[in-house]
DNA sequence: ATATTTTTGAAACAGATGTTGCATAGACTC
DNA sequence: GAGTCTATGCAACATCTGTTTCAAAAATAT
């Protein structure tokens, strides 16, 4: 573990001196440490989007004889981690849901809640919702108050893929205006959890009157949305805190995006490349990481 | 873990039927499980005092196509173990490759990524960030583009607790204005993942110039935010899809909210009750579930 | 603009990997 | 004890590994 820590620190320390490709490789290794020990260098390079040679070069750059030495260190770390793990996990579990236990407990709960989406029924629901959304002319995305984050994220990702979604939100209450042109053949994706905002239910009613389809991400089989939606995905919102969690709901929305992109992979790739060019031309992103300007 | 357990059990179950050499190989694998994933088959065979071919034969004997499948299972187990509590969820990875595979895989990955936040180092970072935020006068929340959802959600939850946060966003580019009154004693919470928006980095620079503290939720140890932040929480963003995932980042933000609320439980409860009364009086939420209006 | 250095990608390399076919050694049946 | 069958060791195999080399490209200096 010591050596491993040393290596990781060395990578971080000398990161700024590296060439772009070396940084790309180093970054991937830092973020996916366990993989280093478990897969081949070539595969790692593939995943990192880098030439195999770059990994060797990274090793030399770090004053190591070769890549095998990188792997050796990560293997060693994994070995000792595997040994000591059970003990540490048990020790941690004991000290209850207070202090650092709270963070631990929340993370654990969230992980489990998301894992629960793997129930066959949930997967089936996700597929059906994705089907409906894929078949839709336009997708009108509605998520008010706490659900705004989920709605917006879904919309944002989908805009990278095309022009299919309309986000029903906007300054000065103009959000609703987006629905003017909606009609049969279009679908509303509505996200709402308890307590359910009245406006959400009203807008769903409006959608129905217009003959639109409705699919929902919500928190219960008996949510008011379940009654009025064609398809529903249920996700957990319980939390040890005073608040409801939206993390599982966000996970659902990301899975939906993934499924939709997967329906037409080439189109998705094309759209993303185009979006990329667009953002490049607008100079939105920092292409290279500024070197300690501050 | 299921598969791994399954394999281990299968080895034990059929141990008696094996030929002496197969038993020798099997025994070594049972006793040195972690090694399987970390070294080559030939080396393993050497250590076990067995011919390389015997390992292949053991695999076939266990109705597996080849030795690689043995290693794959042990690798998976080790990966899960390293991820800690994701073990249960991730172990099923192997058996659902058809049809609903993508959704299943995505959910699995998300669950594991969040579970990885339970690493002691991550928990410690979360605590430190929570400390910094708790001590801050005001918290200025910044998340542009894809990170907007996380920033907004953090801000929204925090508004239920009081007036401590300012969300640096708004129509017509007015978001930045919020920072006018910020200064030393205040802290900026910035969320940004690769690719990093230029404006984000600029605003962080501005915050530093004003003498503010900076804490970040980002995707890498070597993110441009790491250099310029007092504390950083790292979360995974990889995904099987074309997009980066923000679910772990949202989880982080929710945990932070939880930790902050936990610092002063009574105040949190009071603030929430007040928020509740306020929303009640505005008649925002549906108090009873409308019964099939449609 | 030119020259020089650095960085990158592609191909070639030797060596190691997991697998397979075959021959021999041993165990068992009759 | 001959014949059959399985278990084992060995060597050849295609493939993949990590490394190196070399030329083109990009960045930097002149």
Summarize pLDDT for B78-127 with one digit per residue, the tens: 776 655 433 333 333 333 333 457 788 888 888 888 988 988 889 999 99
B205 CA, C24 C1': Å apart: 77
B46 CA, D1 C1': Å apart: 39
A106 in contact with B, Cβ within 8 Å: yes
Name the residue facing A103 among B34, B197, B259 (closest C-beta).
Answer: B259
A192 in contact with B, Cβ within 8 Å: no
Average pLDDT over residues B65-77: 83
B227 in contact with A, Cβ within 8 Å: yes
Give Cβ neighbours of residue B69 (< 8 Å, ≥ 6 apart): B59
B8/B148 same-domain check: no
Q: Is B288 inside any structural domain? A: no
| First-residue to last-residue Cα distance in chain A | 32
Q: Is A6 inside any structural domain? A: yes
Location of structure tokens 């605003």: B203
CATH no. for residue A166?
3.40.50.10490
Pick out the nucleotide with least CA–C1' distance to B68: C18
Q: Do A82 and B84 touch (CB under 8 A)?
A: no
Give Cβ neighbours of residue B289 (< 8 Å, ≥ 6 apart): A196, A222, A223, A224
- Say how many CB pairs under 8 Å bridge A and B: 276
A122/A173 same-domain check: yes
A68/A149 same-domain check: no
Q: Is A127 inside any structural domain? A: yes
Q: Is B291 inside any structural domain? A: no
B245/B151 same-domain check: yes
A19 in contact with B, Cβ within 8 Å: no
Does the pLDDT at position A146 exceed 80? yes
Q: Is A186 inside any structural domain? A: yes
Name the residue facing A286 among B86, B100, B196 (closest C-beta).
Answer: B196
Minimal CA separation from A54 to chain B, in Å: 18
Q: What is the reported pLDDT for A158?
A: 93
Q: What is the reported pLDDT for B142?
A: 95
A283 in contact with B, Cβ within 8 Å: yes
Task: Give the angle B178-B183-B188 at the CA atoms, nearest 5°.
Answer: 65
A192/A264 same-domain check: yes
A248/A120 same-domain check: yes
Q: Which chain A residue's Cα is nearest to B129?
A: A103
Chain A 48..87 CB hits on strand C (< 7 A): 50-54, 57
Q: Among residues B48, B80, B95, which one ends one of the domains?
A: B95
B25/B161 same-domain check: no
A272/A132 same-domain check: yes
Top residue of B36, B72, B76, B103 to mutate, by most chain A CBs within 10 Å, is B103
Quick: pLDDT tens for B193-237: 988 888 899 899 999 999 999 999 999 888 889 888 999 999 998
Q: Is A244 inside any structural domain? A: yes
User: Is A143 strand, coil or helix?
Assistant: strand
Average pLDDT, chain B: 81
B117 in contact with A, Cβ within 8 Å: yes
More confident residue, B163 or A154: A154
Q: Do A243 and B257 touch (CB under 8 A)?
A: yes
Contacts of A127 in chain B (CB under 8 A): 100, 103
Token digits of residue A51:
């030439």
Nucleotides of D under 7 A from a protein CB: 6-11, 16-21
B128/B252 same-domain check: yes
- Mean pLDDT comparison of A189-198, A218-227, B39-48, B92-101, highest-scoring range: A189-198
Q: Among residues A55, A80, A105, which one ends one of the domains?
A: A80
Average pLDDT over residues A9-31: 83
Average pLDDT, chain A: 81
B30/B171 same-domain check: no
Q: Is A293 inside any structural domain? A: no
Residues 144-183 of chain B whose Cβ lies under 8 A from any Cβ of chain A? 145-146, 148-150, 152-153, 156-157, 160, 171-172
Q: How far is it, in rounded angstroms, from Cα B281 to Cα B294? A: 27
Number of folded domains in chain A?
Answer: 2
Q: Do A108 and B102 touch (CB under 8 A)?
A: no
pLDDT-derived band at A291 (thresholds 50, 70, 90) equals: very low
B62 CA, C24 C1': Å apart: 26
Q: Are B247 and A247 in contact (CB under 8 A)?
A: yes
A259/A126 same-domain check: yes
Residue A277's domain comprises 116-282
Q: Is B108 inside any structural domain? A: no
B104 CA, C18 C1': Å apart: 31
Q: How far is it, in rounded angstroms, from Cα B113 to Cα B111? A: 6
pLDDT-derived band at A150 (thresholds 50, 70, 90) equals: very high
Q: Do A254 and B262 touch (CB under 8 A)?
A: no
CATH no. for residue B68?
1.10.10.10
Q: What is the 3-state secondary structure (H, E, C) of chain B?
A: CHHHHHHHHHHHHCHHHCCHHHHHHHHHHHHCHHHHHHCCHHHHHHHHCCCHHHHHHHHHHCCCCCHHHHHHHHHHHHHHHHHCCCHHHHHHHHCCCCCCHHHHHHHHHHHHHHHHHHCHHHHHHHHHHHHHHHHCCCEEEEECHHHHHHHHHHHHHHHHHCCCEEECCCHHHCHHHHHHHCCCCCEEEEEECCCCEHHHHHHHHHHHHCCCEEEEEECCCCCHHHHHCCEEEECCCCCCCCCCCCHHHHHHHHHHHHHHHHHCHHHHHHHHHHHHHHHHHHCCECCCCCCCCC
A187/A272 same-domain check: yes
């Amino acid at each position: 573990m010591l050596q491993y820590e040393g290596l990781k620190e060395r990578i971080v320390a000398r990161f700024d001196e590296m060439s772009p490709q070396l940084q790309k490789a180093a970054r991937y290794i830092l973020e996916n440490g366990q993989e280093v020990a478990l897969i081949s260098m070539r595969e790692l390079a593939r995943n990192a989007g880098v030439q195999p040679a770059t990994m060797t070069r990274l090793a030399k750059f770090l004053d190591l004889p070769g890549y095998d030495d990188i792997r050796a260190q990560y293997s060693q770390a994994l070995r000792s981690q595997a040994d000591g793990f059970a003990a540490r996990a048990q020790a941690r579990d004991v000290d209850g849901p207070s202090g650092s236990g709270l963070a631990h407990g929340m993370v654990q709960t969230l992980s489990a809640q998301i894992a629960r989406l793997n129930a066959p029924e949930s997967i089936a629901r996700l597929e059906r919702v994705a089907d409906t959304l894929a078949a839709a002319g336009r997708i009108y995305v509605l998520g008010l108050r706490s659900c705004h984050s989920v709605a917006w994220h879904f919309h944002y990702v989908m805009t990278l893929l095309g022009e299919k979604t309309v986000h029903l939100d906007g300054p000065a209450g103009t959000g609703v205006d987006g629905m003017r042109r909606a009609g049969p053949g279009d679908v509303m994706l509505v996200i709402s959890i308890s307590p359910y905002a009245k406006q959400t239910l009203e807008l769903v009613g409006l959608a129905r009157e217009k003959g639109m389809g409705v699919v929902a991400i919500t928190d219960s089989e008996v949510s008011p949305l379940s009654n009025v939606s064609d398809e529903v995905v249920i996700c957990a919102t319980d939390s040890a805190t005073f608040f409801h969690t939206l993390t599982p709901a966000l996970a659902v929305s990301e899975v939906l995006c993934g499924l939709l992109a997967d329906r037409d992979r080439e189109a998705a790739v094309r759209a993303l490349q185009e979006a990329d060019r667009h953002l490049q031309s607008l100079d939105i992103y920092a292409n290279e990481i500024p070197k300690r300007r501050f």
